[in-house]
């Protein structure tokens, strides 16, 4: 009976790169995949080439493990067969007999072999039809049998496990993700990881206004499970003294000025951590403080790139992702900050906020608070 001896790993976007970049990213991806396979105790041997990574293993868990690695578009547990039509047909018959579908379709591809895709479809389809009595149905078959015929060897498979997509973690620069203990911010950090960026996580400890350190640490641990063995720095900086001063003088603008203080601190942490940008969990209009006017007033004059990967997403989409990532249960009960005013300013004026920042001495305060930074390595 035919069985899986390889997993075909597809990685989409990387194939569009020039050869130097492609090779370097393929190497990173192969290394990240290797980390998870070794961690799970999977025995395997891998090869790169022809726009694929081939992971030779009979371990049934391999394709699911591989599909969760950033950069993987899909993975197929497959069987290797010699590149001739008789052997391919025999393998297809074997697969069809195991599944006994009412209808089937052959999905052929070829490169470097003398026969055409049509010939594969015809010969293999006919063999399956005769051996099993199953009907050919190209539009809505119960079973699809994929054939990839190549010069050296051919592959045959029935499943395409969708991958998480994105780019290999480590192919892009490191980000400093601001993490608050709520649902959104770990999702934002994860989306940047998905696009190849390792992350450090910065939490502003706002006790007694909010207490979310344990949720943040647990989210960091979950994100660590996605980071291909790279440890994640979980950084905390106390910010309550700043909040107290801001709320006493500019109650309606507390959130905006607090955010400016966060960015001023983040700019310094970013340098220390060799990060290239800051990430937030903002979603346009989600709460009163997350308006276009406020974002402008919060970021005006800041010398740092701020990324908001959730900006166009609806809450339901964010929650779905949080569930998939594994951070939803940790963060769903987190209480919001009690320093948030009853009527927060939704249309802050940039000039007014810059003036308030001067009067309150937020820059100097940021310098003092950052000295109290603590770093914990997670993962
Ligand atoms: P989340 O669900 O991520 O907690 P939120 O909906 O509660 O966000 P805000 O409190 O306005 O919204 O925060 C918006 C973003 O600002 C957060 O996603 C996070 O990136 C950052 N942020 C807010 N509070 C903190 C904090 N205490 N420490 C670090 N970052 C924070
Ligand atoms: Mg939010």
Q: What is the pLDDT of residues 117-140, one digit of tens each?
A: 999 999 999 999 999 999 999 999
- Between CA 27 and CA 18 the distance in angstroms is 14
Q: How far is the CA of 229 from the centre of ligand 2 (A)?
A: 28
Question: Which pLDDT score is estimated for 344?
Answer: 86
Question: Which pLDDT score is estimated for 379?
Answer: 86
Q: How far is the CA of 169 from the centre of ligand 1 (A)?
A: 24
Question: Which pLDDT score is estimated for 1?
Answer: 80
R_g of the chain computed on alpha carbons: 26
Question: Which pLDDT score is estimated for 339?
Answer: 92
Ligand 1 atom, smallest distance to 186 CA: 3
Question: Which pLDDT score is estimated for 330?
Answer: 96
Ligand 1 atom, smallest distance to 310 CA: 18
Q: What is the DSSP string of 298-348?
A: HHTT--S-EE-TTTT--HHHHHHHHHHHT-HHHHTTPPPPTTS-SS--SS-
For residue 289, the ligand closest to its alpha carbon is: 1
Question: In testing the pocket of ligand 1, which one of 211, 267, 281 has its CB within 8 Å of the most ligand atoms?
Answer: 281
Q: What is the pLDDT of residues 60-105, one digit of tens each?
A: 999 999 999 999 999 999 999 999 999 999 999 999 999 999 999 9
Ligand 1 in contact with 180 (CB < 6 A)? yes
Q: What is the DSSP string of 123-185?
A: HHHHHHHHHH-PEE-SSS-SEEEEEEEESS-EEEES--EE---SB-TTSS--EEEE--SSSHH
State the pTM of this model.
0.95
Regions of the chain short of the pLDDT cut 70:
none
Question: Which pLDDT score is estimated for 268?
Answer: 97
Question: Which pLDDT score is estimated for 364?
Answer: 98
| Average pLDDT, rounded, for the chain | 96
Q: How far is the CA of 281 from the centre of ligand 1 (A)?
A: 6
Which residue, by CA, sits nearest to atom 16 of ligand 1? Answer: 280
Q: CA distances (Å), 233 to each of 69, 188, 193, 197, 283, in order?
A: 20, 16, 14, 14, 25
Instruction: Check: CB of residue 155 under 8 Å from CB of residue 80.
Output: yes
């Amino acid at each position: 009976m035919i069985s899986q001896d390889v997993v075909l790993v597809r990685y989409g976007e990387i194939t569009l790169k020039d050869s130097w970049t492609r090779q370097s990213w393929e190497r990173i991806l192969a290394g990240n995949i290797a980390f998870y396979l070794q961690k799970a105790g999977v025995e395997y041997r891998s090869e790169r080439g022809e726009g694929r990574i081939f992971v030779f293993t009979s371990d049934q868990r391999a394709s699911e493990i591989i599909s969760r690695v950033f950069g993987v578009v899909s993975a197929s547990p497959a069987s290797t067969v010699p590149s001739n039509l008789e052997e391919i047909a025999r393998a297809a018959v074997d697969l069809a007999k195991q599944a006994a579908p009412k209808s089937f379709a052959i999905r052929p591809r070829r490169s470097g072999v003398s026969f055409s895709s049509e010939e594969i479809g015809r010969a293999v389809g006919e063999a399956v039809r005769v051996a099993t009595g199953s009907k050919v149905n190209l539009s809505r078959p119960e079973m699809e049998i994929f054939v990839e015929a190549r010069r050296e060897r051919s592959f045959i498979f029935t499943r395409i496990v969708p991958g998480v997509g994105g780019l290999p973690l480590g192919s892009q620069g490191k980000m400093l993700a601001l993490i608050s203990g709520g649902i959104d911010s770990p999702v934002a950090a994860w989306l940047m990881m998905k696009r190849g960026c390792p992350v450090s996580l910065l939490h502003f400890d706002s006790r007694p206004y909010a207490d979310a350190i344990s949720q943040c640490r647990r989210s960091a641990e979950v994100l660590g499970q996605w980071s291909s063995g790279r440890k994640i720095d979980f950084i905390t900086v106390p910010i309550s003294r700043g909040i107290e001063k801001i709320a006493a003088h500019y109650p309606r603008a507390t959130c905006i000025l607090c955010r400016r203080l966060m960015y001023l601190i983040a700019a310094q942490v970013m340098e220390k951590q060799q990060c290239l940008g800051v990430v937030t969990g903002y979603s346009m209009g989600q709460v009163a403080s997350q308006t276009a006017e406020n974002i402008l007033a919060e970021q005006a004059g800041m010398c740092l790139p701020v990324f908001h990967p959730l900006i166009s997403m609806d809450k339901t989409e964010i929650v779905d992702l949080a569930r998939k990532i594994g951070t939803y249960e940790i963060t769903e009960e987190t209480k919001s900050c009690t320093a948030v005013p009853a009527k927060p300013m939704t249309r802050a004026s940039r000039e007014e906020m810059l003036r308030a920042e001067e009067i309150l001495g937020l820059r100097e305060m940021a310098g003092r608070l950052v000295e109290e930074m603590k770093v914990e390595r997670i993962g």
